[in-house]
Amino acid sequence: MSSIKIECVLRENCHCGESPVWEEASNSLLFVDIPAKKVCRWDSLSKQVQRVTVDAPVSSVALRQLGGYVATVGTKFCALNWEDQSTVVLATVDKEKKNNRFNDGKVDPAGRYFAGTMAEETAPAVLERRQGSLYSLFPDHHVEKYFDQVDISNGLDWSLDHKIFYYIDSLSYSVDAFDYDLQTGKISNRRSVYKLEKEEQIPDGMCIDVEGKLWVACYNGGRVIRLDPETGKRLQTVKLPVDKTTSCCFGGKDYSEMYVTCARDGLDSKGLLQQPEAGGIFKITGLGVKGIPPYPYTG
């Protein structure tokens, strides 16, 4: 029997923690605090955190093969040099949509950086709808747009055989799948593989495990759920001591641990008293299944 253990490893008080990414080379977890405009790197050995502040809300971060990182900052795809804390703009999207920003992003198995946009929220999940789009930044720095009419572009990942792209538009309360062409980066044949139940609340960030099952962080649901995208069934629910769970990734030794980010914003003073670890980084061990390494951006 697995004995699941959940531990807050870092009380970071993120306004909105997001985009956890394991960096094996440094035994570290990268993540962002979107409204705080911060990219953070937590060293799991020394337990120290380094933070880089950028000039706009930063919604995702990813590894870069050349060294350093890439991040989505405002409506820009940027390269981030960790040593001198500088950013270089690689491409800009949604130029005519002044109230938009990027949200979640992740690199595909061929090294393209996928990320979608949304209108800026006036409160969590309160925003002008259908303003977002999904994009990817190719290794040569050109951008392709897949579709628009997105409410809150969120979790994304690819099947283990790279033939399916999984995607969440949060306010659809659905986890969707597309056929994926790894050669061209094209997607087609959108369908829903799971509809969230009411108590699961809002689907947010997502990652895949070595068995091809999906883990979805449920915003306001205080949990991560494990889904079988082939049967459309929920296999497992893991509850956390915070409501606003935003995203998850595997990391640690052999990717056997799960890391979960969450938000403080949107909690009232009573909620903050009841959930003092809100905005922290959680580690879940004993799940009995591993994850896969993140793909680096190859441009």
Ligand X SMILES: O=C(O)[C@H](O)[C@@H](O)[C@H](O)[C@H](O)CO
**Where on the chain is the footprint of ligand X (CB under 6 A)?**
16, 18, 34, 103-104, 121, 124-125, 152, 154, 170, 202, 204, 219, 246
Q: Tell me if 144 is assigned to a ligand binding site.
A: no
CA 278/CA 282 separation, integer angstroms = 10
Q: Tell me if 121 is assigned to a ligand binding site.
A: yes
Residues facing residue 114 across a β-bridge = 106, 136
Three-state SS at 230: coil
Catalytic residue among 104, 157, 176, 204: 204
Report the DSSP pairing between strands 245-251 and 257-262: antiparallel
CB closer to Zn ion, 133 vs 154: 154
Q: State the nearest-atom distance from the C-beta of 168 to Zn ion, in Å.
A: 8
Task: Check binding of 154 to Zn ion (CB under 5 A).
Answer: yes
Only segment of 2-10, 81-89, 98-106, 279-287 that touches Zn ion (CB under 5 A): 98-106
Q: Tell me if 23 is assigned to a ligand binding site.
A: no
Q: From Zn ion, ligand X, none, which one binds at residue 125 (CB under 5 to 8 Å depending on kind)?
A: ligand X
The residue from 108, 157, 169, 204 that contacts Zn ion (CB under 5 A) is 204
CB closer to Zn ion, 204 vs 209: 204
Q: State the nearest-atom distance from the C-beta of 216 to Zn ion, in Å.
A: 10
Known active-site residue 254? no
CA 24/CA 257 separation, integer angstroms = 13
CA dihedral 185, 188, 193, 195 (to 10 degrees): 100
Q: Tell me if 226 is assigned to a ligand binding site.
A: no
Q: Tell me if 257 is assigned to a ligand binding site.
A: no
Q: State the nearest-atom distance from the C-beta of 45 to Zn ion, in Å.
A: 28
CB closer to ligand X, 121 vs 157: 121
Residues facing residue 257 across a β-bridge = 251
Query: For residues 223-262, which are near Zn ion according to CB under 5 A?
Result: none
Query: Tokens standing for 207?
Result: 């990652």
CB closer to ligand X, 129 vs 163: 129
What's the Cα-to-Cα distance from 37 to each of 15, 53, 70, 71, 74, rounded to whole Å? Answer: 10, 6, 14, 11, 9
- What DSSP letter does each residue of 137-193 carry, written as one string? E-TTS-EEEEEEEESBEEEEEE-TTS-EEEEEEGGGTEEEEEEEETTTTEEEEEEEE
Only segment of 24-32, 85-93, 199-207, 280-288 that touches Zn ion (CB under 5 A): 199-207
Q: Give ∠ CA 242-293-133 in degrees, rounded to 5.
A: 70
Q: Tell me if 189 is assigned to a ligand binding site.
A: no
Q: State the nearest-atom distance from the C-beta of 103 to Zn ion, in Å.
A: 6
CB closer to Zn ion, 87 vs 154: 154
Q: Sign of dihedral through CA atoms 241, 204, 93, 128?
A: negative
CA 89/CA 102 separation, integer angstroms = 14
Q: From ligand X, Zn ion, none, which one binds at residue 182 (CB under 5 to 8 Å depending on kind)?
A: none
Element containing residue 269 per DSSP (H, E): helix 269-274
Return binding residues for a divalent metal cation.
18, 154, 204
Active site (catalytic) residues: 204
Give the binding site for Zn ion (CB under 5 A). Answer: 104, 154, 204-205
List binding-site positions. Answer: 18, 101, 103, 121, 154, 204
Give the residue ranges of the annotated binding site for substrate.
101, 103, 121
